[in-house]
Structure 1
């Protein structure tokens, strides 16, 4: 019987990975439907470096009508911030399509909405998000901690947190992207990727800050135990900057890799051993890399 356990565990993880791939696929297709309707992708989140945050509409909020969650979308009061009582119901409603079943925390769904700006309209508890929209190799801080400034492929555009256009397919309100702007090719550009909310300082699905991730943090780079924000923590406690930046990276509980949806809706398991420069090039929408450089294996089908 003991000899069968590894095979059983492997089969179960394979099933969970398939479900995860289906979840991120549906989110990618929803983004395509949104683009068909509005002729642009949604912004990553409504946070702006200056001025008040009025609407609680991250990209994950805005695609709810396109993932059969129109009633949930209608329940939001977009004239109020997320921490107002009127939005408590929709904010804490479980959306299974936002979760990855390989992560033990996915069963609870709703977690403490830890963030560095919890006083700016973020709730104390929220539906978490296991898939974040890609901002690409945007600067994660004044020092680009996981690469140096003589490596521009992984430290581009505005500093994370500042207004202005980013190098990836998503950034802050009011910046939005049209597919025609993705000149590197939709099939070669990362649109969505997996994250682990318990490893993410900005884990809320609808949070004003942040529902997006970056590619200039190495794949599956986890926080240290002492850096981890506790699931019950909801007071906006700040951890180290290093932990903050690590949390923005893509990571999963799948052995050896992370699942991504490309701009064309195809889903791939990208190995954590992928060349770091190539990974960052896959995060840019118009980086102008040499044709053929931005290639990825593991095709599981484009838009359908």
Structure 2
């Protein structure tokens, strides 16, 4: 009797244990998924993390691109000094073949230089331009530029022609002589058939190589930058003593107004629409052609970096200069012989 009772108790306990296990298993199965509230909380947390991390990742990438851009400018600056060491002058800025063409042998692009030179001598440059422009060295383009990578006829790096200009006209009123006070042009004559004379020597940089801008950035054709355009304002603001008014009027223009086309459109050409800029207006400002006067320009440095532009000085050092730089300081570092006394920005 007692044995039977014991067996019944054991069976009852085993059944109870089995029931508990089934209930626990069902409970675990129920808890294995997310309910709607839990899912929404998880998604919200993930969204917050993405919102926090993504800007940091993008900022890190842009910082890397900006540093690579500075590396390009350092290499170009070194090439300028190698050219100067060989020729005892800085490369000429103006002409059908600008300073970037002259630097090709010094940026490991000697073959491209020979091909272009041969085309020039055989008067075939127009016919072969598309093929030759496509051979643009990588260091002639800024990694931060939104210009499509296959548009290799443009360059983001422009040589400084200074701030002040001197115009001389003949008896018929035709422009014959123009002088700039930057590094890459001191024009003695208007001559588009070959290198223009009056190039700059180291001795002519009386303000000091470390205080004189040499190369900066420009926004180019194909980019999303509003500063890629060159607007048109009247001939009435083409002289040196009118540059303040020209800069102000130029700065008031907006996309949709009359323009003269894009900048940086031909990296072989030496002109302010292509591979040259000036210090009339501070960085990341509009550029303008002053009526029919080709050398009369507000040709601003501009980039797609946030808040400023990279700038190579004539001694080869590179800085990132903010777009809020004082205009007088910007103009002072743009001249090679202005004898200005300025407080340099904290680079």
RMSD: 2.6
Secondary structure, counterpart of 2:105 in structure 1:
helix
Task: Work out whether residues 128 and 197 of structure 1, in 8 Å CA contact, stay in contact via their aligned partners in 2.
Answer: yes
Task: Work out whether residues 31 and 63 of structure 1, in 8 Å CA contact, stay in contact via their aligned partners in 2.
Answer: yes
Task: Find 2:218's aligned residue among 174, 182, 195.
Answer: 195
Match in the other structure for 1:71: 111
Query: Which TM-score applies when normalising by structure 2?
Result: 0.63
Q: Is there any run of 5+ residues in structure 2 with no aligned partner, and where? A: 1-49, 169-174, 188-195, 222-227, 230-261
Task: Find 1:214's aligned residue among 258, 278, 288.
Answer: 278
Of Structure 1 and Structure 2, the greater helix share is in 2
User: How far apart, CA to CA, are the structure 2 residues paired with 1:294 and 1:34?
Assistant: 31
Query: Which TM-score applies when normalising by structure 1?
Result: 0.71
Task: Work out whether residues 284 and 303 of structure 2, in 8 Å CA contact, stay in contact via their aligned partners in 1.
Answer: yes
Residue 53 of structure 2 corresponds to residue 30 of structure 1: no
Q: Is there any run of 5+ residues in structure 1 with no aligned partner, and where? A: 47-55, 111-126, 139-155, 228-237, 299-304
- Large movers: runs of 4+ above 6 Å: 238-241
Aligned length: 238
User: How far apart, CA to CA, are the structure 1 residues paired with 2:89 and 2:160?
Assistant: 15
Task: Work out whether residues 213 and 311 of structure 2, in 8 Å CA contact, stay in contact via their aligned partners in 1.
Answer: yes
Cα offsets for 1:243-298 (capped at 9, x unmatched): x945x2100111111110001000011111111011001100000112xx162432
* TM-fit CA distance, 1:162: 5.9
Cα offsets for 1:135-178 (capped at 9, x unmatched): 1114xxxxxxxxxxxxxxxxx4349x863331111125222001
Match in the other structure for 1:121: none
Task: Find 2:166's aligned residue among 145, 148, 157.
Answer: 157
Q: Which has the higher contact order (CA 8 A, sep 6+)?
A: 1
Secondary structure, counterpart of 2:344 in structure 1:
coil
Largest Rg, 1 or 2: 2
Task: Find 2:180's aligned residue among 166, 170, 178.
Answer: 166
Task: Find 1:107's aligned residue among 149, 158, 161.
Answer: 149
User: How far apart, CA to CA, are the structure 2 residues paired with 1:185 and 1:176?
Assistant: 17
User: How far apart, CA to CA, are the structure 1 residues paired with 2:314 and 2:110?
Assistant: 24
